[in-house]
């Protein structure tokens, strides 16, 4: 329309005044609005109509004297000040249910006409350029873009008002205080000829626009308008930074959860928590746990400055009503967040998991930055995750302790010491569940012993029950003097009847002294063959495979007699040795035989210990199955 009528030169002023009247209608009338634009070769007329009840004077609050004090006029009044200044004519209308404000801008004379003049009579560019700059700054999201926008606004505002210069100062609440964001010309001095307008931003942002100009006339009005509109850009910056920060916190919590979940060791978990918190959430961090009597004990602490760690420990150990320890005890007792003061100002958050109070997490604030609401919320979330990790580690530790205790009850407390015969064993449990591997040496008769190495299928309490059952039945039958074949037959029948579907592989040998030699009668019930190590280092597998116990009503178990001369050894083991994994590669039987050859000539305990070390060091992975090794050696 403006191009058709040749009024393009009025575009900036028309946009500014229409924006001001539309803003008044939306904010103060809170109804729909209509904008009517008519143009002719002589100028442009715009009418903005709303449909709110009440007299039109409520909308048309404006100046009533020649030199109004803009600070005493409502925001919509300031908009009408601009209308009054830039429009050729303006007024109010009533049309049916609506009321509105209209303005007329006449076309300037050929050649541009007279420029707009403010009370200072300083020649200025159009105010529409200032409004256009405010709109064009919407996409300036970076720090440099925001500073450039502020500098441009100051320069144009200074030219409009005749000011010698101006500054914009901003405090983002990051502990750095109020910083200079932009400056143009001479910095304002602290006198009466200085305009100061606070920036209308939400916490933690705060700031001020200062202009080296007298607040008379329209300078105060324009500075206020610029400050208000620039505050919108600052709000966008604050929200953008808050969103980025929240995304960062979410990533931090996810990483913290992953690290905490990877540890099932109580002490390692305790030591990890302060390392996660410092320096991200505070200058220092301390983890206290409660003992059986509810007293707090320091479990781990760290400080961003290593030189301050000793002083921190001393402060945490102090007692008294105003001490840090007293505040921590209060947080633990009440189960709520507690603040504590200087010199180690910060927060104490209780560690609670599954309804149990485990202790406290204390975090000290950074020297130049206090914890804001988001950081406190993240701190509480970290405390919840840390408490759960500690509780999980404790549960795992308790289960492991129970498993170790139960496993130890299934193994002999010590192997018999027999002159001329060496017995030695090594056992490596895995995980927190009881395994089915076991070994035993049972004496019977004169200079006779029964050596047993077995593996019950599965893990857990049921496997441990079957293991104990097999071990006890064997001991009872050996004490009764039963033959080896009968012992295996009765153990098989017991497992079929009471084994609950579990089976057992067994290597059992009777050892009888004959002069300086040992006669070994070996029976294998589905178990791996034993390794025979001669005194000269030659090795071989001995034994014939039989039927595993607990699967069938009838079994076969061929016996093999082996003679051990002085220095010879017989090594029994479970499949945890041969099935030790390194990726897809197994330790295997051949590697086991090769590892046994260099052990010839060593005592039984050394042979067992070195074979255990070789098996474990084959892979960096944790063993997937229990490992049991028993060595029988002729020490004559």
pLDDT in tens, 422-446: 999 999 988 767 888 999 999 987 7
User: Above pLDDT 70, what percent of the chain?
Assistant: 89
Confidence at 134, pLDDT banded by 50, 70, 90: low
Examine the domain organization and report whether 315 and 457 are in the same domain.
no
Examine the domain organization and report whether 398 and 440 are in the same domain.
no
Examine the domain organization and report whether 192 and 331 are in the same domain.
no
Residue 583, in any domain of the structure: yes
Residue 120, in any domain of the structure: no
pLDDT of residue 342: 73
Residue 114, in any domain of the structure: no
Examine the domain organization and report whether 12 and 134 are in the same domain.
no
pLDDT of residue 139: 52
pLDDT exceeds 70 at position 366:
yes
Residue 20, in any domain of the structure: yes
Range of the domain at 9: 2-106
pLDDT of residue 627: 93
Examine the domain organization and report whether 291 and 371 are in the same domain.
yes
Residue 255, in any domain of the structure: no
Instruction: Choose the weakest-confidence range: 363-367, 428-432, 548-552.
Output: 428-432
H helix or E strand, kind and range, residue 129:
helix 127-136
pLDDT exceeds 90 at position 535:
yes
Average pLDDT over residues 266-277: 92
Confidence at 49, pLDDT banded by 50, 70, 90: confident
CA distance 426 to 504: 20
pLDDT exceeds 50 at position 365:
yes
- The pLDDT tens digits of the residues spanning 302-359 come to 999 989 899 989 988 888 888 888 889 888 888 888 888 777 788 899 999 998 999 9
Residue 483, in any domain of the structure: yes
Q: Which residue has the higher pLDDT, 602 or 215?
A: 602
pLDDT of residue 588: 94
Examine the domain organization and report whether 194 and 306 are in the same domain.
no
Confidence at 519, pLDDT banded by 50, 70, 90: very high
Domain end, chosen from 242, 276, 292, is at: 242
Residue 278 in contact with residue 284, Cβ under 8 Å? yes
Average pLDDT across the chain, whole number? 84
Residue 119, in any domain of the structure: no
Long-range own/partner contacts, residues 35-43 (CB < 8 A, 24 or more apart): 37/1, 39/1, 39/2, 39/4, 39/5, 39/7, 40/5, 41/5, 41/6, 41/107, 42/106, 42/107, 43/7, 43/10, 43/88, 43/104, 43/105, 43/106, 43/107
Instruction: Choose the weakest-confidence range: 131-140, 318-327, 364-373.
Output: 131-140
Domain end, chosen from 349, 379, 403, is at: 403
Q: Which residue has the higher pLDDT, 226 or 26?
A: 226
The CATH number for 76's domain is 3.30.565.10
Q: Which residue has the higher pLDDT, 533 or 319?
A: 533
The highest-confidence range among 103-107, 126-130, 179-183, 459-463, by mean pLDDT, is 179-183
Confidence at 6, pLDDT banded by 50, 70, 90: confident
Examine the domain organization and report whether 41 and 70 are in the same domain.
yes
Examine the domain organization and report whether 562 and 456 are in the same domain.
yes
Examine the domain organization and report whether 306 and 190 are in the same domain.
no
Residue 192, in any domain of the structure: yes
Examine the domain organization and report whether 353 and 479 are in the same domain.
no
Examine the domain organization and report whether 65 and 150 are in the same domain.
no
Residue 525 in contact with residue 570, Cβ under 8 Å? no
pLDDT of residue 343: 73
User: How many folded domains does the chain comprise?
Assistant: 4
Domain end, chosen from 106, 137, 161, is at: 106
Examine the domain organization and report whether 54 and 143 are in the same domain.
no
The CATH number for 231's domain is 3.30.450.40
The Cβ of residue 177 has, within 10 Å, a number of other Cβ atoms equal to: 10
């Amino acid at each position: 329309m403006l191009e058709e009528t040749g009024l393009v030169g009025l575009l900036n002023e028309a946009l500014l005044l229409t924006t001001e009247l539309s803003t008044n209608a939306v904010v103060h009338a809170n109804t729909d609005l209509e904008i009517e634009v008519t143009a002719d070769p002589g100028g442009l007329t715009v009418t903005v109509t709303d449909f709110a009840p009440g007299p039109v004077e409520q909308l048309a609050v404006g100046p009533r004297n020649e030199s109004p004090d803009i600070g005493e006029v409502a925001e919509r009044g300031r908009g009408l000040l601009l209308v009054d200044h830039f429009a050729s004519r303006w007024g109010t209308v009533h049309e049916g249910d609506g009321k509105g404000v209209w303005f007329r801008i006449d076309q300037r004379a050929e050649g541009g006409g007279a420029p707009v003049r403010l009370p200072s009579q300083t020649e200025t560019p159009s105010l529409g350029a200032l409004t256009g700059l405010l709109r064009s700054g919407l996409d300036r999201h970076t720090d440099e873009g925001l500073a450039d926008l502020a500098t441009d606004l100051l320069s144009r505002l200074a030219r409009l008002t005749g000011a010698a210069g101006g500054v914009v100062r901003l405090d983002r609440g990051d502990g750095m205080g109020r910083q200079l964001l932009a400056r143009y010309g001479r910095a304002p001095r602290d006198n009466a000829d200085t305009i100061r307008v606070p920036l209308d931003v939400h916490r933690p942002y705060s700031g001020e626009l200062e202009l080296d100009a007298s607040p008379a006339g329209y300078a105060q009005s324009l500075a206020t308008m610029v400050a208000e509109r620039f505050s919108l850009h600052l709000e966008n910056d604050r929200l953008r930074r808050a969103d980025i920060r929240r995304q960062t916190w979410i990533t931090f919590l996810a990483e913290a959860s992953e690290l905490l979940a990877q540890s099932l060791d109580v002490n390692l978990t305790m030591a990890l928590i302060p390392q996660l918190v410092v320096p991200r959430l505070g200058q220092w961090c301390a983890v206290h746990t409660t003992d059986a009597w509810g007293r707090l004990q320091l479990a781990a602490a760290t400080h961003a400055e290593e030189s301050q760690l000793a002083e921190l420990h001393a402060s945490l150990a102090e007692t008294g009503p105003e001490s840090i320890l007293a505040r921590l005890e209060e947080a633990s007792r009440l189960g709520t967040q507690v603040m504590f003061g200087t010199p180690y100002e910060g927060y104490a958050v209780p560690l609670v998991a599954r309804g149990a109070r485990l202790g406290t997490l204390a975090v000290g604030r950074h020297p130049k930055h206090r914890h804001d609401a988001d950081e406190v919320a993240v701190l509480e979330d970290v405390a919840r995750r840390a408490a759960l990790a500690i509780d999980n580690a404790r549960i795992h530790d308790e289960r492991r302790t129970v498993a170790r205790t139960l496993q130890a009850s299934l193994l002999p407390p010590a192997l018999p010491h027999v002159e001329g015969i060496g017995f030695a064993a090594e056992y490596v449990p895995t995980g927190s569940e009881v395994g089915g591997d076991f070994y035993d040496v049972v004496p019977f008769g004169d200079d006779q012993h029964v050596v047993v190495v077995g593996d019950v299928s599965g893990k857990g309490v049921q496997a441990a029950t079957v293991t104990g059952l097999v071990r006890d039945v064997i001991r009872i039958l050996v004490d009764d003097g039963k033959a080896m074949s009968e012992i295996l037959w009765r153990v098989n029948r017991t497992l079929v009847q009471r084994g609950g579907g579990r089976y057992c592989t067994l290597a059992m040998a009777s050892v009888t002294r004959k002069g300086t030699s040992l006669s070994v009668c070996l029976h294998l019930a589905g178990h791996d063959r034993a390794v025979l190590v001669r005194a000269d280092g030659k090795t071989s597998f001995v034994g014939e495979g039989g039927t595993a116990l607990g699967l069938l009503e009838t079994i076969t178990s061929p016996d093999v007699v082996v003679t051990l001369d002085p220095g010879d050894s017989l090594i029994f083991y479970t499949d945890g040795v041969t099935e030790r994994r390194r990726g897809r590669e197994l330790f295997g039987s051949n590697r086991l035989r090769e590892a046994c050859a260099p052990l010839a000539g060593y005592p039984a305990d050394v042979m067992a210990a070195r074979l255990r070390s070789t098996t474990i060091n084959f892979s960096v992975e944790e063993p997937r199955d229990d490992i049991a090794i028993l060595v029988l050696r002729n020490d004559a």
